[in-house]
């Protein structure tokens, strides 16, 4: 890429970031339904035509906002290839993985839970967004299932006795617990509504999951 093209590409990327940041502020402050793209453009300091050219419509803008909020950046790297997730998966014991996984998942909740609430509310009004919301939930459970399967294979895991005959069911049970306790909805209830700190939420989530899963601290 020539220096001129590289400069143009970086400028376009910075514009995209400004628009996404402005959309997040307005969608969270005012709601998705009542926020217009013109208002997003004004907040971002761009023309509304730039938003249409870059994102096509408000639904696509919300989708990309959700992706960036979960990832923490605009790099096209899936959650299961993110450093926090791969580091947790590489932990030597089930308990060590659980602690690392909780900390990483809570960091995701801290930056994305308000956006998830915007999407959940908007999904009740627009069928296209309802499908996006459902797909996002499926992806979240897929991530938790991968983590659960890895935990079960490590020292310190204590599957229920019946799990010997149905390992998939046990992995799904653990994934369901991770999915529920590390959900953006529960994070908002305790952190935003009840005033917990993210660290308090992470410690509580770890303690709760540790008790439910009965992991040991085996070396």
- Look up residue 143 and give its two tokens: 């991530």
CA distances from 155 to 94, 102, 148, 152 (A): 6, 18, 13, 8
Residue 106, φ and ψ in degrees, nearest 5: -70, -35
Question: What's the CA angle centered on 53, arms 135 and 2, to 5 degrees?
Answer: 105
* Cβ proximity of 102 and 182 under 8 Å: yes
Whether residue 93 sits in one domain with residue 155: yes
Whether residue 82 sits in one domain with residue 123: yes
**How much of the chain exceeds pLDDT 70, in percent?**
94
Residue 209, φ and ψ in degrees, nearest 5: -70, -40
**pTM greater than 0.75:** yes
Residue ending a domain, among 35, 56, 73, is 73
Whether residue 87 sits in one domain with residue 69: no
Whether residue 89 sits in one domain with residue 60: no
Whether residue 157 sits in one domain with residue 97: yes
CATH number of domain containing 14: 1.10.357.10
Structurally, the chain folds into a number of domains equal to: 2
Closest of 213, 192, 194 to residue 102, by C-alpha = 213
Whether residue 85 sits in one domain with residue 152: yes
- Higher-confidence residue: 10 or 88? 88
Is pLDDT of 179 > 50? yes
Domain that holds residue 141: 77-219
User: How far is 27 from 174, CA to CA, in rounded Å?
Assistant: 33
Residue ending a domain, among 20, 55, 73, is 73
Is pLDDT of 174 > 90? yes
Where does the pLDDT of residue 17 fall: very low under 50, low under 70, confident under 90, or very high at 90 and above? very high
Is pLDDT of 140 > 90? yes
């Amino acid at each position: 890429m020539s220096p001129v093209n590289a400069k143009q590409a970086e400028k376009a990327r910075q514009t995209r970031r400004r628009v996404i940041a402005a959309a997040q502020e307005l969608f969270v402050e005012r709601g998705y339904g009542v926020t217009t793209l013109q208002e997003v453009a004004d907040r971002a300091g761009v023309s509304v035509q730039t938003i249409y050219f870059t994102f096509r419509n408000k639904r696509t803008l919300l989708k990309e906002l959700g992706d960036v909020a979960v990832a923490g950046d605009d790099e096209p790297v899936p959650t299961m290839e993110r450093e926090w997730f791969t580091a947790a998966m590489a932990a030597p014991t089930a308990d060590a993985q659980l602690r690392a996984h909780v900390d990483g998942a809570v960091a995701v909740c801290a930056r994305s839970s308000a956006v998830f609430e915007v999407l959940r509310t908007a999904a009740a009004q627009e069928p296209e967004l309802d499908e996006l919301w459902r797909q996002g939930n499926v992806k979240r459970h897929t991530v938790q299932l991968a983590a659960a399967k890895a935990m079960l294979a490590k020292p310190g895991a204590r599957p229920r006795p019946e799990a010997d005959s149905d390992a998939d069911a046990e992995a799904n049970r653990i994934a369901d617990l991770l999915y529920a306790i590390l959900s953006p909805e529960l994070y908002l209830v305790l952190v935003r509504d009840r005033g917990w700190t993210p660290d308090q939420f992470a410690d509580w989530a770890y303690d709760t999951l540790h008790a439910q899963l009965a992991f040991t601290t085996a070396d």
